[in-house]
Amino acid sequence: MVVKLLYFASLREQVGSSGESLDLPLGVASVATLREHLIARGGVWQSALAGNRALRVAVNQDLAVATTAIKEGDEVAFFPPVTGG
Amino acid sequence: MSGQSDVRVQTEDFDAGAEMAAMRRGDPKIGAVAAFIGLVRDVNDGSAVRSMTLEHYPGMTERALEGIVTEAKGRFRIEHARVIHRVGELQPTDQIVLVITAGGHRGDAFAACEFIMDFLKTQAPLWKKEQTVDGTRWVEARGSDDQAAARWEPRQA
């Protein structure tokens, strides 16, 4: 299934991309498994998304948790903790 | 300015006085208006700040702020609330954010204003990047902001 991925702020700079359309293999259907899938790219993806880094994830513009399901056509955004105001 | 959204994310500056006047115009139920304005300081974490760039997530930022305003209206007795947050490049002394709440009495107006700011700082997708004399850096989230948001009891369903 194809999903739209977005990266913001320091994470966007680290991975050198503001977003992409990605065809996910079978078995990648949650926030946690998607993060693992991206980490498996290695290099900057591994360091930027590593499990010990505090990151927020939104699915279709709602804050999500590790177990949140991902389905065809979803917009999934990864970003660091927010610092507005 | 009736009919305007409660939430705006914009590069332009805002006029707090005009926004407050517009919010309560012609509404005799309003006995109290509370407002908060956040500004760019020239020093942060020991470094002189030359300028700041605010990034957001178009669509989600507005959606998150609207959710926070809706939650505030459910928790507190207020008639109106408005949030304006600027994005793009800002200089020291520039205005960043405006929160206005209005209701019958000051207690709920003050509390709702503080509630909105506490959740804006921890929930709304906005990120600050500072240009300092020592270089460029992303502002780190503060634990004290999480603690401020955690003060508010979960609302009973």
Asked if the model's pLDDT at residue B72 lies above 50, the reply is yes
The ipTM, to two decimals, is 0.94
Q: Which among B38, B63, B124 has CB closest to A82?
A: B124
A65 touches chain B (CB under 8 A): no
Residues with Cβ within 8 Å of residue B92, at least 6 apart in sequence: B40, B41, B42, B49, B50, B51
What mean pLDDT is reported for chain A? 96
CATH number reported for the structural domain that contains residue B62 in this entry: 3.90.1170.40
Give the pLDDT mean for B63-92: 97
Torsion (CA) A54, B99, B44, A8 in degrees, nearest 10:
40
- For residue B61, the enclosing domain spans 7-38+56-127
pLDDT over threshold 70, residue A35: yes
What structural domains does chain A harbor?
Answer: 2-79 (3.10.20.30)
Q: How much is the pLDDT for B83?
A: 98
Among B41-50, B79-88, B129-138, top mean pLDDT goes to B79-88
Task: Give B37 to chain A, closest Cα distance, Å.
Answer: 9
B96 touches chain A (CB under 8 A): yes
For residue A76, pLDDT beyond 80? yes
Q: What is the pLDDT at residue B46?
A: 83
Question: pLDDT tens-digit profile of B4-55?
Answer: 579 999 999 999 999 999 999 999 999 999 999 999 999 888 889 999 999 9
Q: Which residue, among B4, B32, B7, has the nearest Cα to B99 in the 3D structure?
A: B7
pLDDT of residue A49: 96
Q: Is A55 on the interface with B (CB under 8 A)?
A: no
Report if residue B72 sits inside a domain.
yes
Helix axes B143-150, B106-123, angle to 10 degrees: 140
**Total count of domains within chain B:** 1
pLDDT confidence of residue B3: 46
Q: How many CA atoms lie within 13 A of B60 on its CB side?
A: 24
Q: Is the pLDDT of residue B157 over 90?
A: no
Is residue B2 very low, low, confident or very high in pLDDT (cuts 50, 70, 90)? very low
pLDDT for residue B1 is more than 80: no
- The CA-atom distances, in angstroms, between B151 and each of B81, B119, B144 are 21, 11, 11
B39: three-class secondary structure by DSSP: strand
pLDDT on residue B123:
95
- Please indicate, yes or no, if residue B113 is contained in any of the structural domains: yes
What average pLDDT does range A7-19 have in this prediction? 98
